[in-house]
Amino acid sequence: MKYTLSSILLLFSIYVSAQSKLSGSVIDSETKKPLEGISIFLSHTTNGTISNAKGDFQLDHLKPGKYELVATSLNYEDNIIAIQIGLSNEPITISMNPTANQLKEVVVESYDDNGWERWGDSFKSYFVGSPVLAINCLFKNPEVLKFKFGANSNKLRAFTNEKLIFENTELGYRIIYLLSKFEIDFNNNTFSFKGYPFFEEMKSNKPKQIAEWNKARKQVYIGSLRHFIRSLYNNSFIKDGFEVRTVMNVNTEEITRVKELMKGGNKNLNKDSLDYYNKVHNIGFEETKVTLNPLVTRDMLVSTAVESNAKTFYFKNGLQVMNLNKKIPNEYAKTLPVYRGNEFVRTDLSLRTNSPIFIYPNGDFYNGLELLTDGYWAWSEKVSTMLPSDFMPIK
Reported as a single tens digit per residue, the pLDDT across 107-119 is 446 888 899 999 9
CATH number at residue 90: 2.60.40.1120
Report whether pLDDT(104) > 80.
Answer: no
Regarding whether 116 and 96 lie in a shared domain, the answer is no
Regarding whether 376 and 292 lie in a shared domain, the answer is yes
Whether 98 contacts 29, CB under 8 Å = yes
pLDDT of residue 346: 94
Instruction: Return the percentage of the chain with pLDDT > 90, whole number.
Output: 61
Q: Which SS3 state, helix, strand or coil, does residue 67 take?
A: strand
Contacting residues for 248 by C-beta, under 8 A, at least 6 apart:
276, 279, 280, 289, 290, 291, 292, 317, 318
Residue bearing the bigger pLDDT, 46 or 110 = 46
Model's pTM, two decimal places?
Answer: 0.84
Residue bearing the bigger pLDDT, 97 or 337 = 97
Regarding whether 328 and 316 lie in a shared domain, the answer is yes
Regarding whether 244 and 257 lie in a shared domain, the answer is no
Which of 270, 287, 304 is a domain's end point? 287
Which of 79, 102, 125 is a domain's end point? 102
Section 321-339 average pLDDT: 89
Section 2-13 average pLDDT: 30
Regarding whether 235 and 207 lie in a shared domain, the answer is no
Regarding whether 190 and 331 lie in a shared domain, the answer is no
Give the helix/strand (H/E) hosting 86. none
Regarding whether 328 and 231 lie in a shared domain, the answer is yes
Residue range(s) defining the domain that contains residue 19 = 14-102
Please indicate, yes or no, if residue 327 is contained in any of the structural domains. yes
Regarding whether 369 and 293 lie in a shared domain, the answer is yes
Residue bearing the bigger pLDDT, 300 or 307 = 300
Mean pLDDT, rounded, of the chain: 86
Overall domain count for the chain = 4
State the Cα–Cα distance between residues 253 and 33, nearest whole angstrom.
67
Report whether pLDDT(105) > 50.
Answer: no
Regarding whether 169 and 194 lie in a shared domain, the answer is yes
